[in-house]
């Protein structure tokens, strides 16, 4: 079945409906409706300041109390808009924030353990989750006693993803995972994102590196000035002249 048909027909694991966010009198996200199907990788691309992080933070329940939110956030068909962050984690939503927010002086393994303080009741034990993450990231296993702050940029990103996976999420949201990474390391991180598909976790990815993001994704959205202006199967977006022109042109290729 095509990614487009699957998106329309399958019950999404994560969905926003007409989501709008205002900070004071400024509305930074307008009427954003997106869907992420089970096991899919969905990307949101768009320029700086378009509202991409705001979208992820609204889904995770991380916006400041002063922000005004309208519209719905639904997980597995349930409205989670009134849940706090811990409840959303327990339902199976996880976010790797742009700044990764690791505990630099703690070991890799202790950082992973902290990722499990709130988790979905998946039937998998914490030890099983840890083994699963070490299987996905052998490098983290090798370095499990190393301080997180002494890891390379790519390793820290792997650790941030691994820590989020410790909550056994159904949906993993990644905010700019390739930010600040050297091209070769970036390629490793995108390979990991692609490998996540095999674990059954759905991924919602926001990225400045549109080309690489569309390459690993099933479906994509373009977010511009707070609005979804285009959507479609990632393969189709990658050859859409408007996307090519604005986001994949030679000058922007990286």
CA distance 109 to 145: 7
Does the footprint of ligand ATP cover residue 246 (CB under 6 A)? no
CA distance 12 to 35: 6
Q: Residue 36 or 45: which CB sits closer to ligand ATP? A: 45
Does the footprint of ligand ATP cover residue 28 (CB under 6 A)? yes
Choice from 16, 40, 43, 54 touching ligand ATP (CB under 6 A): 54
Q: How far is the CB of 210 from ligand ATP (least distance, A)?
A: 11
| From 46-54, 72-80, 99-107, 120-128, span contacting ligand ATP (CB under 6 A) | 46-54
Q: Which residue carries 């691994």 as its tokens?
A: 162
Choice from 52, 74, 75, 156 touching ligand ATP (CB under 6 A): 52
Binding footprint of ligand ATP, residue count (CB under 6 A): 11
CA distance 79 to 75: 7
| From 42-50, 116-124, 135-143, 145-153, span contacting ligand ATP (CB under 6 A) | 42-50
E strands, 38-136, in order: 41-45, 68-75, 78-79, 93-96
Q: Residue 137 or 247: which CB sits closer to ligand ATP? A: 247
Q: Cβ contacts of residue 225 below 8 Å, gap of 6+?
A: 50, 51
Which is nearest to 26 in space by CA: 63, 67, 54? 67
Does the footprint of ligand ATP cover residue 53 (CB under 6 A)? yes
Distance of CA 182 to the CA centre of its chain: 20
Does the footprint of ligand ATP cover residue 49 (CB under 6 A)? yes
Does the footprint of ligand ATP cover residue 100 (CB under 6 A)? no
Does the footprint of ligand ATP cover residue 48 (CB under 6 A)? yes
Neighbour tally for 241: CB within 10 Å: 8
Return residues touching ligand ATP (CB under 6 A): 23, 28, 46, 48-54, 64
């Amino acid at each position: 079945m095509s990614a487009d048909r699957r998106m329309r027909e399958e019950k999404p694991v994560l969905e926003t409906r007409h989501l709008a966010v205002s900070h004071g009198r400024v509305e930074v996200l307008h009427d954003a409706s997106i869907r992420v199907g089970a096991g899919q990788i969905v990307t949101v691309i768009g320029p700086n300041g378009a509202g991409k992080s705001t979208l992820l933070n609204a889904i995770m329940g991380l916006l400041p109390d002063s922000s005004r939110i309208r519209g719905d956030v639904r997980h597995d068909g349930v409205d989670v808009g009134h849940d706090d962050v811990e409840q959303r984690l327990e339902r199976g939503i996880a976010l790797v924030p742009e700044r990764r927010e690791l505990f630099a002086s703690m070991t890799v393994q202790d950082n992973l353990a902290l990722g499990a303080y709130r988790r979905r009741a998946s039937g998998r034990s914490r030890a099983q989750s840890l083994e699963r993450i070490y299987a996905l990231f052998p490098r983290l296993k090798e370095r499990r006693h190393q301080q997180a702050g002494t890891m390379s940029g790519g390793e820290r990103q792997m650790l941030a993803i691994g820590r989020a996976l410790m909550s056994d999420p159904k949906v993993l949201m990644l905010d700019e995972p390739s930010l600040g990474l050297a091209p070769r390391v970036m390629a490793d991180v995108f390979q990991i994102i692609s490998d996540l598909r095999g674990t059954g976790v759905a991924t919602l990815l926001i990225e400045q590196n549109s080309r690489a993001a569309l390459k690993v994704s099933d479906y994509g959205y373009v977010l511009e000035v707070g609005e979804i202006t285009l959507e479609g199967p990632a393969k189709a977006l990658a050859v859409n002249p408007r996307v090519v022109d604005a986001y994949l042109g030679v000058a922007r290729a990286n």
